[in-house]
Amino acid sequence: MNVNFNIAASAYGQAQKLISQAGQQADVKTNPLVTETEKNGFAKLVEDSLQSVVESGKVADAKSLEMINGEANIVDVVTAVAEAEIAVESMVAIRDRVIKAYEEIMRMPI
């Protein structure tokens, strides 16, 4: 069985790079009405959430590799994959709600 695990590792690396770039861009934007804690609070919340999703994916991949090598229990693998799936589905649901809220705001009359 020939599986290229470098693709998954590359995807996680790119996701982490995007997360760090998003955090840096949020810090660059300034608004005199928003305190420093509020700016970093939301950006940090989003960054931590995305980092958590990436980490759960890494754990699932590591458990899968251990299973392929005969070192892991199938229950651990299934649990790790299920946790990663739930994390991704949750982030997608949150993203969809944010987009829906944005679209509703854009439809509001001024």
- Write out pLDDT tens, residues 31-87: 555 565 555 777 788 888 888 999 999 999 999 999 989 888 899 999 999 999 999
Q: Please name which of 56, 65, 63, 46 lies closest in space to residue 87, comparing C-alpha atoms.
A: 56
pTM value? 0.60
Quick one: how far is CA 54 from the chain centroid?
5
Q: Span 96-100, mean pLDDT?
A: 92
Number of alpha carbons in the 13 Å side-chain half-sphere of residue 68: 11
Question: What per-residue string of b and e applies to 72-96 under the rule 16 or more CB within 10 Å gives b?
Answer: beeeebeebbeebeebeeeeeeeee
- pLDDT greater than 50 at residue 8: yes
CA distance 69 to 55: 21
Q: What is d(CA 76, CA 14) in angstroms, rounded to the nearest whole number?
A: 26
- Residue 76 CB-half CA count within 13 A: 13
